[in-house]
Amino acid sequence: MSTTELTWFKSSYSGSQGDDCIEVAVAEQAVCVRDSKDVSRPHFAVGRDGWSEFVAFVAFVA
């Protein structure tokens, strides 16, 4: 899947200065993540189950 076919949104925890930000796009089979400072670099994709586990873990430790 190309990045032009995805709808990217910035993390709600991203700062207003534009540094240290990630963007996320939800695809049919995966959740894609990229660095918002350099969108020309490749993104990585995580299966929906893996993403759910990651979000639950982060919420638990935060």
Query: E strand or H helix at 61, and its extent?
Result: helix 48-61
HEC secondary structure over 28-58: CCEEEEEECCCCCCCCEEEEHHHHHHHHHHH
Note whether 57 and 49 are within 8 A (CB).
no
Question: Does pTM top 0.85 for this prediction?
Answer: no
Given this model, what pLDDT does residue 5 score? 83
Q: What are the extents of the domains in the chain? A: 3-61
What's the confidence (pLDDT) of residue 18? 61
5-53 pLDDT tens trace? 899 988 776 666 666 688 899 998 899 999 888 888 999 999 999 999 9
pLDDT at 2 over 60: no
